[in-house]
Structure 1
């Protein structure tokens, strides 16, 4: 063999290369499924709406016959009750029957995508020879973001930046207390800056600045804290576990651009149990609905934050025991 010839790859190296190729292709496939599948299969699944007025029962039965399984219909006595259901986030829309004909109420702030579905439903209710069924927006989306594109684009950057924050804290900050302080500081300052961007320059969120900043801080703390906890317990693989859980699964299932009931089930419900989905729902509640429906997503975020703190504590204590001198473990220390 000439001195310049490259030696053939050993069986170990060949196996490693083959494993890397397979792993990368598997990750690519999972990413395509995770991001494309919910969008491709987006359709109403037990979407909560109300029907009100004297003919409410008849309209509800007709909806069930025409679109079985698409809507979870509740009947209410009048338009006032229907509007209250929308502002309380108990329903996405309403069909109100009156002697002059039906009208459709929507809350585009809850989901512009669902509002479009209900507007299409209103068009189908009106024969071409009659006037169109009126559609009224009870809780409108931000006028600078009527389709919710800007709102939906907030989720992924928050998750990615939180993942980056966890990596930085893991490798540059040591000790349970210091890591907890670092994650808390990043969450508070990051939430304040993100809210200022969303409400100021981008203008995609109305409502109280402090409330919006608080929700974003909770979202950052939940993701960054849990990933930091994962790495404290299992080392570098914890970064991959967090990335898969929150980016590969949590982000596409967050329903930030649609609604949980528009995703294939049970994945829509699962997405609401992860920080990206809970944060999106909580943001809508505090920005557009004066906090209505905020209890469940707030509880989800707080549980994830507590879980992250627990992981960091366990990892920190384990590290202390590993670094403890032999004498601290009850073993005899040689006398010099």
Structure 2
């Protein structure tokens, strides 16, 4: 392939990648809608409200029926549901958790207005977002840098550090230092999330290790192609389907669920649980991140076995002894 053909191929490939990125990032945002979204409905008129929801938006909500308002609040605080509609005397009231998803909280508020028949339904924010970031915009924006920096670190370690031990040391260093520094910026300087600093830093460090480890591990196990596979997976699938600015149940199926199985989506869910819900609902995303971290170390082990024969010194051939 001459220079002209190579230039044309690179240009076409870059254009295809651009189109793929537009689809990956714009398509989920253009199709935000509730899909089996967990909410609660309670009170004497619960049956009527459930029927109205099913008629207006079939398949949009997965409705549970707690015994009373206190149980509905507990379900919100435990991250079992995103919000609740409480019926009784007068128009229905809405319980939301803007910390869990400002997008869902806004939708539930609108539903409450429709059910009440008035311009403003009574809304109670049970678990509120941080006052410095009431719409969750900055929270959603911080997930992408965590993933991108992890990809960059993985690429650098994969290309510049030749030994498996050096790669592992670089990953550990990036995880510890990156977690501490990122939370110092996010929590200490910008005050975007509440919660215990060291725990949040550990979460950020685990995310950094998982993302960069996927890149480094695959490159060690299968070569440079692994860098592209891991990086594109995190960038084109992990980030747009992380639901950091919405909720997994608002994304097209099955991509919302798939996004939670990748580090960016698990990171967003785990950070929300630790920062706003005292760890409620943290076990699932924590397990995902731990599995990715263990997989990274396993791939590094595979890479060590793969490169060992090439790194072993050749045995000197015996010198024949001649006798005169």
TM range, smaller chain: over 0.9
Q: Does the CA contact (< 8 Å) of 1:52 and 1:95 recur in 2?
A: yes
1:16 Cα deviation (Å)?
Answer: 2.5
Is 1:224 equivalent to 2:207 in the alignment? no
1:17 Cα deviation (Å)?
Answer: 2.8
Distance 1:174 1:240 in 2: 18
Normalised to the residue count of structure 1, the TM-score between the two structures is: 0.91
Correspondence for 2:109 = 119
Q: Does the CA contact (< 8 Å) of 2:92 and 2:116 recur in 1?
A: no
1:79 Cα deviation (Å)?
Answer: 0.1
Moved over 3 A (4+): 11-15
The match for 1:180 among 150, 165, 168 is 168
Correspondence for 2:268 = 280
Is 1:153 equivalent to 2:141 in the alignment? yes
Correspondence for 2:192 = 204
Is 1:133 equivalent to 2:116 in the alignment? no
Correspondence for 1:103 = 93
Is 1:251 equivalent to 2:239 in the alignment? yes
The match for 1:72 among 56, 62, 71 is 62
Distance 1:209 1:249 in 2: 29
User: SS state of the match for residue 258, structure 2?
Assistant: helix
Distance 2:199 2:141 in 1: 19
1:12 Cα deviation (Å)?
Answer: 4.0
CA shift digits 1:27-57 (9 cap, x unpaired): 0110000000000111111110000112212
1:227 Cα deviation (Å)?
Answer: 0.5
CA-based RMSD of the aligned residues comes to 1.4
Q: Which runs of 5+ in 1 are unaligned?
A: 1-10, 328-332
1:276 Cα deviation (Å)?
Answer: 0.1
CA shift digits 1:267-306 (9 cap, x unpaired): 0000000000000000000000000000110000000001
1:159 Cα deviation (Å)?
Answer: 1.0
The match for 1:50 among 40, 61, 80 is 40
Is 1:35 equivalent to 2:25 in the alignment? yes
Normalised to the residue count of structure 2, the TM-score between the two structures is: 0.95
Farther off after superposition, 100-109 or 276-285: 100-109
Correspondence for 2:153 = 165
Q: Does the CA contact (< 8 Å) of 2:186 and 2:192 recur in 1?
A: yes
Q: Does the CA contact (< 8 Å) of 2:37 and 2:61 recur in 1?
A: yes
Correspondence for 1:234 = 222
Distance 1:127 1:106 in 2: 19
Q: Does the CA contact (< 8 Å) of 1:256 and 1:277 recur in 2?
A: yes
1:176 Cα deviation (Å)?
Answer: 2.3
